[in-house]
Chain A
Amino acid sequence: MTKQTLPNTKPIMGRIIKKWEECEDTFGFLIDIPVKVKGAKPGQFIMLWIPGVDEYPIGIADFENNVLEIGVSKMGVGTEAMINKNIGDLVGIRGFYGKPFQPPNKVNHLIIGGGFGMTPLKLLTTYLLLREEKEEIHIFEGARSKNRLMYLDWFQNLHDQKKLVFHVSTDDGSYGYKGFPTVDLEDFLQKSETPSVIYAAGPERMMKVIFDIGKKYQKVIDMQMSFADRYMRCGFGLCSYCAVDPTGWRICVDGPIFNAKQIEQIEDFGNYRRIETGEKQRI
């Protein structure tokens, strides 16, 4: 059941208490939320309002003691306006919206993504590390080059402590393997014997490639992917600007996380997205 942890309200103003350059063109923010809120679940998102500029969905990287962590990559006027914000500035938060990842037990957890997609995957990783079941966690992160890898130190550190296995790759070979993370993933799947679940977030074309790889292996018992990178207006199921065909599912409340069985039914997956007019555009 989707039970929103914050009631569905107008934006609640939160204060930026920390800002740092996470990697090239991407900044991390800690935002203090002034009302008592229960924990965010991995995969959920917020609508971030930059007063006077724009509002858009953003993944949740962490949430503890009423402090929210997000990562914002420069992609347009709205994200740039956030990046130009500083400690002490106020921004509006609506959410937490959407259905979360639902990791089963007794499987290998294979977490793969790139760019802004790493944000919800960071919270998923934290969540899995806190669980009592100790299963293997593998992170497959890819980026164009080393300076564009999000949470590099954070994942590397957990790898060094042997809490997870960090498979990192860059297109130019400046860090980790040279190539795409999907290649790493497939290498791993070929060798592994254990039942696995794939979790993915990031550009939809990449997710499509991952989905097609995952389907080839019986040991992949499920795939859970985030569709949060879509145009949204309301965030709570009213406007349908984020809806996918032919199922009529709204990404914001029926998703943004869908499982393999659901993804199979979404013909728009990897093919079309809606823009502000409601028109479909090829991905």
Chain B
Amino acid sequence: MELETTVGSIKLRNPLILSSGILGTSYSTLQRIYEAGMGAVVTKSIGPRARKGNPNPSIFALQEIKSVINSVGLANPGYKVFREDIEKLIENKIPTIASVFGENETEFVEVLEGLKDLHILAFELNLSCPNIEKGGTQIGTNPETVFNIVKKIRSITSSPIWVKLTPNVNNIIDIAEAAVKGGCDALVAINTLKAMVIDIDAQIPILGYKRGGLSGAAIKPIGIRYVYDLFENFGEKIPIVGVGGISRGEDIIEYLLAGANAVQIGTALGVAYPENMIKFFQMRIKKYMKEHTIEKISELVGGAHK
């Protein structure tokens, strides 16, 4: 039995990838999570310059739906500073995917130009952050903009390009088509859902930015639906990385069956012992594969499309 999987030309030791925005502020947390048994890690989204993000509260848990709402707002040190962290990861042989963002095409280009010489596993274009005023979802909901940015970046780098899609659209296929036409190597679905929590005693939204994005168990059925739709539309033409609400090994199997070649996990690792969670995920996948006499992850991919 093998847990190895591929996303296009990329080989991973297993289908578990740390998603962007979780434990990704420093090389040290990324390395720690990789060493605990992930297949690869995605950095925090990196932009052209240092950004403070939104005021606190910017992350808290919603226990009743096993989920988290956040409005970090792409706080990051900028690519010039974060480059050092990526260099350390590469030096330590950690399969690293750099998540990058910009408020417009020019900013995306600046970041890519600044990082393209690194031997990175892939660039993940964050075209879908819901927590900023300019860029973010605005970019990721317009097929033409998505096409232009992906095409431009394709001309800059030969590294694989992954495009992270927002679920906050009428038709995700249009956006995905644009990204594929632009020349991306994989689709990552989904980013967080637009959300808000109001405290009924204080009578105001709790997040400092008021609005936020929802992640965690509550969004899993939505992610599954989008991955299923994407696989149905594209088939083997483009690899899919499934993300959204994975909190148990079973959820990973579900995403693979929907059509994902690999998955990203984030919110579920925000615990005291993420190492244990990762081991549980792996054990559960192996148990399932054994029970269903499955030898390779690829046998599961898209298996629910009958």
Contacts and interface: CB of A to CB of B under 8 A. Distances in A.
Interface in A254-283: 254, 274, 276-279
A49 B26 CA distance: 26
Given A253-B272, A278-B44, A240 B202 contact: no
Interface string B153-189: 0000000000000000000000000000000000000
Contacts of A250: 23, 29
A2 B81 CA distance: 33
Contact of A240 (B24, B57, B62): B24
Contact of A47 (B27, B29, B57): B57
Interface stretch (A6-14, A127-135, A212-220): A6-14
B202 A90 contact: yes
Contacts of A94: 60
Given A52-B204, A238-B270, A248-B32, A11 B25 contact: no
Contacts of A236: 61, 270-271
B114 interface: no
Contacts of A54: 55-56, 208
A13 B72 contact: no
Interface residues of B, number: 50
B52 A277 contact: yes
A49 B197 CA distance: 14
Nearest to B57: A55
A245 interface: yes
Nearest to B271: A237
A54 B29 CA distance: 26
A52 B76 CA distance: 23
B11 interface: no
Contacts of A90: 201-202
Contacts of A246: 28
Contacts of B270: 234, 236-239
Interface in A152-199: none
Interface in B46-68: 50-53, 55-63, 68
B128 interface: no
Interface residues of A, number: 40
Contacts of A11: 57, 60, 199, 206
B214 interface: no
A13 to B, nearest CB: 4
Contacts of A208: none
A237 B24 CA distance: 11
A52 B269 CA distance: 29
Interface string A1-43: 1100001111101000000000000000000000000000000
Given A54-B55, A55-B56, A278-B44, A237 B77 contact: no
B68 A238 contact: yes
A51 B57 CA distance: 9
A54 B82 CA distance: 27
Contacts of B274: 237
Contacts of A237: 23, 269-272, 274
Contacts of B26: 240, 243, 245, 248, 274, 278
B202 A233 contact: no
B34 to A, nearest CB: 10
B199 to A, nearest CB: 7
B246 to A, nearest CB: 14
A8 B60 CA distance: 8
A118 to B, nearest CB: 24
A92 B206 contact: yes
B23 A277 contact: no
B22 A238 contact: yes
B61 A10 contact: yes
B202 A13 contact: yes
Nearest to A7: B63
A245 B28 contact: yes
A241 interface: yes
B25 A241 contact: yes
B183 to A, nearest CB: 30
Nearest to B23: A240
B31 interface: yes
Most buried by A among B26, B63, B70: B26
Tell which of A9, A10, A238 has the most Cβ of chain B within 10 Å: A238
B10 to A, nearest CB: 24
B59 A233 contact: yes
A12 B22 CA distance: 24
Contacts of B298: none
A6 B206 CA distance: 19
B3 interface: no
Given A90-B201, A233-B72, A238-B269, 10 more contacts: A8-B61, A52-B202, A54-B208, A234-B59, A238-B68, A238-B266, A239-B72, A239-B270, A247-B28, A248-B32
18 contacts: A1-B272, A9-B62, A10-B60, A10-B199, A11-B60, A92-B57, A92-B199, A237-B23, A239-B25, A239-B70, A240-B24, A240-B29, A243-B28, A248-B28, A250-B29, A253-B272, A278-B75, A279-B77
A-B pairs with lowest CB-CB distance, top 10: A238-B270, A248-B32, A248-B28, A51-B202, A55-B56, A234-B59, A279-B77, A55-B57, A2-B272, A248-B29
Interface of A: 1-2, 7-11, 13, 47, 49, 51-52, 54-56, 90, 92, 94, 233-234, 236-241, 243-248, 250, 253-254, 274, 276-279
